[in-house]
Amino acid sequence: MVYETLERRTFLATLILVTLAFIWLMLPFAGPIFWAVAIALIFHPVQNWLADRLGDHRSLVALITLAICMTIVVIPVLVLSASLVAEGLGLYQKIQAGEVRPGEYIDRVVESFPAIESFLGQFNLEFGELRDRAVSAFMGGSQFLAKQALGLGQNTFQFFLGLALMVYLAFFLLRDGDRLVALLIRAIPLGDERERLLFDKFAEVTRATVKGNLLIAIIQGGLGGFIFWILGLNAALLWGVVMAIVSLLPAVGAALVWVPVAIYLAAVGDLVSSIVLTAFGVVVIGLADNLLRPVFVGRDTRLPDYIVLLSTLGGIVMFGLNGFVMGPLVAALFMAFWGIFIREFGEESAVVGGKPAVTEGNGDGTDKH
């Protein structure tokens, strides 16, 4: 008996070590693996629709589903990313050549609205220091895009290797996803019912986070880029993508981009464009989040705004650009796990001496307080 116990413990310890080693081995490919899982979950309804019409041809159904994903998602994202990098590189070159001077734009705004400097002075904030920081941030952003363009050229093989790996894994996850989930339910010792609930929650949260939040961000970014293009502003595509990215942050969102531009347009005397941009930003871009998020994301899976903000920023620090999705996903799973824990163990704690706890009442059906 003692020897069998030792064998079991040794096996479990070895199993944990091998599992940790495998996870460490897969860490360099965390991005492609995550997006492959996201693709499989998001396009699972499409896969089921095709399976109902084509029958039990798992490989064919998975291949067609993956082709649909490539056509409507992957290829457009690649084209948009390439255009974004090219726009950012062009902006960086204009800054280096002196054609674009962010500091002068800020000075122009303060000259037109001197109350801004007085307002900052009430909080003991030096305008010059804030100006330098803003210019540095602008320069840093354009330099980052320039480095991405250079890095993309130098690491072309690595980029396409990650892309190919993502597509390859997505195919097998689409084809064999149900079997893999069943295998994991058998292997993980958490209780089959609880495991199914957690897997369902993971799928629900992933779809809501990726499909909902990213789709809303794309819509807001597209609207922002459209109004910039209508008004004849430079680098409309670049600023549209930037607005799509910051739209993932609650509270501020796309206003972080279009509000300063509207102020600058007013400062240079282009009041019509400033009013149009402000009205469009408030009415169209601003309301898009409130109207579309309950439809695409759903109210049950929506996180509090402060959790979204903190998890998004933390995700960027931990996972890079993928953190825009992975951060809120981790936060949502954290809350889902604790929700299950509170529900299950809370019910157990309500049982006293093997019998349900009885609330003392007043005799009229109401509780005594």
What is the DSSP code string of 41-108? HHTHHHHHHHHHHH-S-HHHHHHHHHHHHIIIIIHHHHHHHHHHHHHHHHHHHHHHHTS--HHHHHHH
Are residues 158 and 57 both part of a single domain?
A: yes
pLDDT surpasses 90 at 18? yes
Flag whether 85 is in a domain. Answer: yes
91 CB-contact burial (10 Å; exposed 0-12 / middle 13-18 / buried 19+):
buried
Q: How many helices (H) and strands (E) does the chain have?
A: 17, 2
Kindly state the percentage of the chain with pLDDT values over 90.
Answer: 7
Are residues 208 and 329 both part of a single domain?
A: yes
Q: Per the structure block, which two tokens stand in for 251?
A: 């509270």
CA 239 – CA 228 distance, rounded (Å): 8
Are residues 221 and 87 both part of a single domain?
A: no
- Among 153-162, 235-244, 326-335, whose mean pLDDT is lowest? 153-162
pLDDT tens digits, one per residue of 308-342: 778 877 887 787 767 777 887 788 778 877 877 78
pTM: 0.68
The pLDDT of 297-309, averaged and rounded, is 66
Domain around 252: 191-351
- What is the model's pLDDT at position 209? 73
Flag whether 233 is in a domain. Answer: yes
Are residues 100 and 239 both part of a single domain?
A: no
Which of these, 147, 137, 127, lies nearest to 256 by C-alpha position? 137
CA 24 – CA 28 distance, rounded (Å): 8
One-character DSSP codes across 143-199: HHHHHHHHHHHHTHHHHHHHHHHHHHHHHHHHHHHHHHHHHHHHHSTT-HHHHHHHH
Are residues 69 and 141 both part of a single domain?
A: yes
How long a stretch of residues is the chain? 369
CA 278 – CA 317 distance, rounded (Å): 32
Are residues 220 and 168 both part of a single domain?
A: no
Are residues 255 and 325 both part of a single domain?
A: yes
Are residues 324 and 239 both part of a single domain?
A: yes
| Predicted confidence band of residue 155 (pLDDT cuts 50, 70, 90) | low
Q: Strand, helix or coil at 367?
A: strand
- What is the model's pLDDT at position 122? 66
| Predicted confidence band of residue 295 (pLDDT cuts 50, 70, 90) | low
- What is the model's pLDDT at position 363? 43
Q: Per the structure block, which two tokens stand in for 330?
A: 């981790």
Are residues 234 and 103 both part of a single domain?
A: no
pLDDT surpasses 60 at 351? no
**182-201 burial code (b ≥16 CB/10 A, e <16):** eeebeeeeeeeeebebbeeb
One-character DSSP codes across 230-266: HTT-TTHHHHHHHHHHHTTSTTTTTHHHHHHHHHHHH
Are residues 171 and 288 both part of a single domain?
A: no
Are residues 205 and 279 both part of a single domain?
A: yes
| Predicted confidence band of residue 20 (pLDDT cuts 50, 70, 90) | very high
- Among 161-170, 260-269, 273-282, whose mean pLDDT is lowest? 260-269
Flag whether 7 is in a domain. Answer: no
Find out whether 227 and 199 touch, Cβ atoms under 8 Å: no
pLDDT surpasses 70 at 127? no
| Predicted confidence band of residue 67 (pLDDT cuts 50, 70, 90) | very high
- Among 98-102, 206-210, 218-222, 243-247, whose mean pLDDT is lowest? 98-102
Domain count, the chain: 2
The pLDDT of 52-72, averaged and rounded, is 87
Are residues 82 and 216 both part of a single domain?
A: no
Flag whether 358 is in a domain. Answer: no
pLDDT surpasses 90 at 271? no
Flag whether 72 is in a domain. Answer: yes
User: Which residues are registered as beta bridge partners of 367?
Assistant: 361
Flag whether 90 is in a domain. Answer: yes
φ and ψ of 125, to 5 deg: -105, 125
Flag whether 186 is in a domain. Answer: no
Residue 7 vs residue 91, higher pLDDT: 7
Flag whether 18 is in a domain. Answer: no
pLDDT tens digits, one per residue of 45-61: 888 888 888 877 888 98
